[in-house]
Amino acid sequence: MKTRQLIMLAGLFLILGCKKAPEQLPVVDPLAFGGELDGKKVELFTLKNEQGMVVQITNFGGRVVDLWVPDREGRFTDVVLGYSTLDGYLNSNEIYYGTLVGRYGNRIGNARFTLNDSVYTLAANDGINHLHGGVKGYNDVVWDAVQSDEKTVLLSYLSPDGEEGYPGNLQVNVTYELTPDNELKIEYRATTDKPTPVNLTHHSYFNLKGAGEGDINDHVLYINAPFYTPVDGGLIPTGEIAPVDGTPFDFRTPMAIGARVNDDNEQLKYGQGYDHNWVLTTPSGPGLTLAARVVEPSTGRTMEVFTNEPAIQFYGGNFLNGKDTGKNGKVYNHRGALCLETQHFPDSPNHLEFPSVILEPGQEYYSICIYKFGVE
Ligand code: GLA
């Protein structure tokens, strides 16, 4: 081989070497992560796609532990808050980093509801209210897990009759899939042997600059919703379905999250910022709704959220307070991340005017949420 060809070849290797292959990303070490909890093995599963995206998921709470997404220069960063060890999660101040949430995502007022003339009392874990499935929600249990291929992990959990006060044995199956189009696709299925409310969701805390890299006030947000459900001081919907027109809740034109978050607005005071349920414009035919889109201007990263659910909770990380130090020693400060939780409306079991959340025996619950990453 001539010297010139050799130099060119060396150059090519150098260029290829600079573009980090997924296996070179400093992902969490699955061997260092695990442990045993409730007599079950806690594991960490690594999913990859052909574009270099990597997501790691643990069967403890069905959590997304890290999620590596490219910016407009092709540089990969981990965009979700979390820990590199099981102990990190067990000792955390915030308990919902990256979790699956159930049996009922969001709040149920007075931790109580009536169904078919029976009153059900749930665990009260948010003042007098019930939040995210109770004291030991699906975020806190060890799921059965099988990684079926490089891109897919299947999680299942049998939630027993009476758990946290809910009626019926609920068999829950969740699939996490990383698609070739840089989507993290989450599909939820459930069946029951007694009528029960079900509202499953996912609670990743995203910061598209990177986990622990400042706040999300400069992320630009679009929400495809002309209405939202105002709340009382305990964040329970009043029952009103209010137009977003002329309020800080109108994100139909993309807007920096921080632009209006400190406005003098009663609803923002109740949530200490954004922590509300938006009522989506759903397509008239089949197909999913583009519920929300987030753009991070400095890195160009974008995230779109698609769902078949009628609503989405946008929570702006108002209760993050710098008490948690996560992966790579990064501190998770106030509004350091955002959650976009596809869902039915909060407190639906107590609002018959809201879309029903009751699953009957013989029916199958199906919900889908896609977080699609891109750049602009
Ligand atoms: C949800 C709620 C918030 C908060 C977080 C967890 O998104 O709406 O009020 O409880 O979970 O901290």
CB 341 within 8 A of CB 105: yes
Architecture of domain 213-343: Distorted Sandwich (2.70)
Q: Which two tokens stand for residue 107?
A: 């709040």
Sequence ranges of the chain with CATH classification 2.70.98.10: 20-197, 213-343
Nearest residue (by CA) to ligand 1, atom 8, is 275
Unique residue bearing structure tokens 């109770």? 134
The pLDDT tens digits of the residues spanning 281-321 come to: 998 888 999 999 999 999 999 999 999 999 999 999 999 99
What's the gap in Å between 140 CA and the centre of ligand 1? 15
- Averaged pLDDT, 111-130: 98
Task: Output 24 or 276, whichever has higher pLDDT.
Answer: 276
Atom of ligand 1 nearest to the CA of 131: 10
**Interval 329-355 mean pLDDT:** 98
Per-residue pLDDT tens for 166-197?
Answer: 999 999 999 999 999 999 999 999 999 999 99
- Written out in words, the top-level CATH class of the domain with range 20-197 is mainly beta
Q: Tell me whether residue 36 is one of the annotated catalytic residues.
A: no
**Among residues 203, 219, 344, 351, which one is catalytic?**
203
**Cα 53 to averaged position of ligand 1 atoms, centre (Å):** 27
Q: Model confidence over 258-271: pLDDT tens digits?
A: 999 999 999 999 99
Residue count of the chain: 376
CA 126 to ligand 1 center in whole angstroms = 10
**Mutation test residue for ligand 1: of 339, 340, 342, 343, the one with most atoms within 8 Å of CB:** 339
The predicted structure's pLDDT at residue 8: 56
pLDDT, mean of residues 61-70: 98
Atom of ligand 1 nearest to the CA of 339: 7
Contact call for residues 165 and 194 (beta carbons, < 8 A):
no
Looking at residue 44, its pLDDT comes to 98
Q: Is 319 in the pocket of ligand 1 (CB under 6 A)?
A: yes
The preferred substitution site among 315, 320, 344 for testing ligand 1, maximizing ligand atoms within 8 Å of CB, is 315
Residue scoring higher pLDDT (4 or 101) = 101
For residue 5, the model assigns a pLDDT of 59
Report whether residue 44 contacts ligand 1, using a CB cutoff of 6 Å: no
Provide the whole-model pTM: 0.94
**Residue position matching structure tokens 């695990």:** 34
Task: Tell me how far the alpha carbon of residue 105 is from its chain's centroid.
Answer: 11
User: How far are the Cα atoms of 44, 217, 261, 262 from residue 270, in angstroms, in the given order?
Assistant: 37, 19, 12, 12
- Average confidence score pLDDT of the chain: 95
344 classed as catalytic? no
SS (H, E, C) the chain: CCHHHHHHHHHHHHHHHHCCCHHHCCCCCHHHHCEEECCEEECEEEEECCCCCEEEEECECCEEEEEEEECCCCCEEECECCCCCHHHHHCCCCCCCCEEECCECCEEHHHEEEECCEEEECCCCECCEEECCCCCCHHHCECEEEEEECCEEEEEEEECCCHHHCCCCEEEEEEEEECCCCEEEEEEEEEECCCEECECEEECCECCCCCCCCCCCCCEEEECCCEEECECCCCCECCCCEECCCCCCCCCCCEEHHHCCCCCCHHHHHHCCCEEEEECCCCCCCCCEEEEEEECCCCCEEEEEEECCCEEEEECCCCCCCCCECHHHCECCCCCCEEEEEECCCCHHHCCCCCCCEECCCCCEEEEEEEEEEEC
How many whole angstroms from 170 Cα to the centroid of ligand 1? 23
Quick check: 62 pLDDT over 90? yes
Tell me, in angstroms, the distance from the centre of ligand 1 to residue 100's CA: 13
What's the pLDDT band for 206 if we cut at 50, 70, 90?
very high
- Is any atom of ligand 1 closer than 6 Å to the C-beta of 120? no
Average pLDDT of span 352-365: 98
Instruction: List the one residue out of 171, 205, 180 whose CA is nearest residue 365.
Output: 171
Please tell me the predicted confidence (pLDDT) of residue 34. 84
Position in ligand 1 atom list of the atom nearest CA 319: 12
What is the average per-residue pLDDT within 62-83? Answer: 98
With beta carbons less than 8 A apart as the criterion, state whether 304 and 292 touch: yes
